[in-house]
Amino acid sequence: MATRDITQADPELQQFFAFAKRTFELEFPEFSYKPTCVYRSPEEQLVEFKAGRSNCDGEKKLSNHNTLPTKAFDGGIFRRSDGAYIDTILGFPASYRKALYAFIWLLAELKGFRAGGDWDGDGIPVDVDPGEHLNDVYHLEKRKP
Protein backbone atom coordinates (compact mmCIF):
# COMPACT_ATOMS: atom_id res chain seq x y z
CA MET A 1 0.00 0.00 0.00
CA ALA A 2 1.50 3.34 -1.05
CA THR A 3 1.96 5.77 1.82
CA ARG A 4 2.19 9.50 2.40
CA ASP A 5 4.17 9.03 5.63
CA ILE A 6 7.29 11.18 5.37
CA THR A 7 8.84 9.33 8.35
CA GLN A 8 9.33 6.38 5.96
CA ALA A 9 11.78 8.46 3.91
CA ASP A 10 15.52 8.70 4.42
CA PRO A 11 16.28 11.16 7.29
CA GLU A 12 17.94 13.67 4.92
CA LEU A 13 14.79 13.67 2.78
CA GLN A 14 12.61 14.14 5.87
CA GLN A 15 14.74 17.11 6.85
CA PHE A 16 14.53 18.56 3.34
CA PHE A 17 10.76 18.07 3.25
CA ALA A 18 10.37 20.06 6.51
CA PHE A 19 12.60 22.82 5.17
CA ALA A 20 10.83 22.97 1.79
CA LYS A 21 7.36 22.97 3.39
CA ARG A 22 8.27 25.78 5.79
CA THR A 23 9.96 27.91 3.11
CA PHE A 24 7.28 27.31 0.47
CA GLU A 25 4.39 28.05 2.84
CA LEU A 26 6.05 31.26 4.07
CA GLU A 27 6.54 32.43 0.50
CA PHE A 28 3.14 31.25 -0.79
CA PRO A 29 0.78 31.32 2.22
CA GLU A 30 -2.29 30.54 0.09
CA PHE A 31 -0.90 27.06 -0.54
CA SER A 32 0.41 24.08 1.40
CA TYR A 33 2.99 21.46 0.47
CA LYS A 34 2.34 17.82 1.42
CA PRO A 35 3.78 14.40 0.64
CA THR A 36 1.64 12.58 -1.93
CA CYS A 37 3.70 9.38 -2.13
CA VAL A 38 6.58 8.15 0.02
CA TYR A 39 6.70 4.33 -0.05
CA ARG A 40 5.24 2.41 -3.00
CA SER A 41 5.10 -1.38 -3.28
CA PRO A 42 6.65 -3.11 -6.32
CA GLU A 43 3.12 -4.01 -7.51
CA GLU A 44 2.06 -0.36 -7.34
CA GLN A 45 5.30 0.60 -9.09
CA LEU A 46 4.36 -1.63 -12.02
CA VAL A 47 1.06 0.26 -12.34
CA GLU A 48 2.98 3.58 -12.51
CA PHE A 49 5.35 2.09 -15.11
CA LYS A 50 2.53 0.78 -17.29
CA ALA A 51 0.85 4.20 -17.14
CA GLY A 52 4.07 5.86 -18.36
CA ARG A 53 4.55 7.79 -15.13
CA SER A 54 7.83 6.08 -14.20
CA ASN A 55 10.84 4.49 -15.90
CA CYS A 56 10.99 1.83 -13.14
CA ASP A 57 8.80 -1.26 -13.30
CA GLY A 58 9.30 -2.40 -9.69
CA GLU A 59 10.53 -5.82 -10.93
CA LYS A 60 13.67 -5.53 -13.06
CA LYS A 61 14.25 -1.94 -12.00
CA LEU A 62 13.24 -0.73 -8.53
CA SER A 63 12.35 2.90 -7.97
CA ASN A 64 13.63 4.98 -5.07
CA HIS A 65 10.11 4.66 -3.63
CA ASN A 66 10.29 0.84 -3.39
CA THR A 67 12.65 0.36 -0.42
CA LEU A 68 12.44 1.43 3.24
CA PRO A 69 13.57 3.97 4.17
CA THR A 70 12.72 5.43 0.78
CA LYS A 71 15.28 7.37 -1.19
CA ALA A 72 12.54 9.52 -2.74
CA PHE A 73 9.21 11.17 -2.05
CA ASP A 74 6.62 12.91 -4.18
CA GLY A 75 5.12 16.17 -2.96
CA GLY A 76 2.00 18.01 -4.08
CA ILE A 77 0.75 21.56 -3.77
CA PHE A 78 -2.70 22.20 -2.32
CA ARG A 79 -4.86 25.33 -1.99
CA ARG A 80 -5.05 26.17 1.70
CA SER A 81 -8.59 27.61 1.67
CA ASP A 82 -10.27 24.33 0.66
CA GLY A 83 -7.49 21.74 0.52
CA ALA A 84 -7.88 21.28 -3.24
CA TYR A 85 -4.97 19.75 -5.11
CA ILE A 86 -3.86 22.43 -7.61
CA ASP A 87 -3.59 19.86 -10.40
CA THR A 88 -7.34 19.24 -10.16
CA ILE A 89 -8.53 22.86 -9.81
CA LEU A 90 -10.44 23.75 -12.98
CA GLY A 91 -8.87 26.77 -14.65
CA PHE A 92 -5.79 26.90 -12.44
CA PRO A 93 -3.20 28.60 -14.70
CA ALA A 94 -0.67 26.07 -16.02
CA SER A 95 2.18 28.59 -15.86
CA TYR A 96 1.40 29.39 -12.23
CA ARG A 97 1.37 25.67 -11.42
CA LYS A 98 4.76 25.19 -13.09
CA ALA A 99 6.24 28.15 -11.17
CA LEU A 100 5.01 26.82 -7.81
CA TYR A 101 6.49 23.36 -8.45
CA ALA A 102 9.70 24.92 -9.79
CA PHE A 103 10.13 26.77 -6.50
CA ILE A 104 10.21 23.39 -4.75
CA TRP A 105 12.50 21.58 -7.18
CA LEU A 106 14.91 24.50 -7.34
CA LEU A 107 15.13 24.42 -3.52
CA ALA A 108 15.85 20.69 -3.81
CA GLU A 109 18.64 21.26 -6.30
CA LEU A 110 20.14 23.98 -4.12
CA LYS A 111 20.21 21.51 -1.22
CA GLY A 112 21.84 18.76 -3.28
CA PHE A 113 18.83 16.59 -4.15
CA ARG A 114 17.69 15.44 -7.59
CA ALA A 115 14.30 16.59 -8.83
CA GLY A 116 11.90 15.16 -11.41
CA GLY A 117 11.26 18.73 -12.57
CA ASP A 118 14.87 18.83 -13.85
CA TRP A 119 16.41 15.36 -13.77
CA ASP A 120 19.76 16.41 -15.23
CA GLY A 121 20.07 19.38 -12.84
CA ASP A 122 20.92 21.91 -15.54
CA GLY A 123 18.24 24.34 -14.34
CA ILE A 124 16.15 23.89 -17.51
CA PRO A 125 12.70 22.51 -16.62
CA VAL A 126 12.04 19.01 -17.90
CA ASP A 127 9.08 20.05 -20.07
CA VAL A 128 11.20 22.41 -22.19
CA ASP A 129 14.52 20.52 -22.02
CA PRO A 130 14.99 18.45 -25.20
CA GLY A 131 17.48 16.23 -23.34
CA GLU A 132 14.82 14.99 -20.90
CA HIS A 133 11.57 13.09 -21.25
CA LEU A 134 9.80 12.10 -18.01
CA ASN A 135 8.00 15.11 -16.54
CA ASP A 136 7.59 14.36 -12.83
CA VAL A 137 7.59 17.68 -10.98
CA TYR A 138 6.42 15.99 -7.76
CA HIS A 139 9.43 13.70 -7.42
CA LEU A 140 12.48 14.45 -5.23
CA GLU A 141 15.25 11.97 -4.48
CA LYS A 142 18.70 11.59 -3.03
CA ARG A 143 21.55 11.89 -5.48
CA LYS A 144 23.53 8.72 -5.99
CA PRO A 145 26.78 8.87 -4.00
Please say which residue, 25 or 132, places its beta carbon nearer to Ca ion: 132
Beta-strand runs (E) in 11-122: 31-37, 72-79, 114-115
Q: For residue 87, how many other CB atoms are within 10 A of its CB?
A: 14
Q: Which stretch binds Ca ion (CB under 5 A): 9-17, 74-82, 97-105, 122-130?
A: 122-130
Q: Which stretch binds Ca ion (CB under 5 A): 18-26, 35-43, 57-65, 129-137?
A: 129-137
Instruction: With beta carbons less than 8 A apart as the criterion, state whether 79 and 110 touch.
Output: no
Instruction: With beta carbons less than 8 A apart as the criterion, state whether 74 and 82 touch.
Output: no
Question: 72 forms bridges with which residues in the sheet?
Answer: 141
Closest C-alpha to 101, from 63, 138, 62, 141: 138
Select from 122, 127, 133, 134 the one that contacts Ca ion (CB under 5 A).
122
Select from 68, 124, 127, 133 the one that contacts Ca ion (CB under 5 A).
124
Q: Which stretch binds Ca ion (CB under 5 A): 48-56, 83-91, 108-116, 125-133?
A: 125-133
Select from 111, 120, 127, 134 the one that contacts Ca ion (CB under 5 A).
120
Select from 44, 57, 87, 129 the one that contacts Ca ion (CB under 5 A).
129
Q: What residues line the site for Ca ion (CB under 5 A)?
A: 118, 120, 122, 124, 129
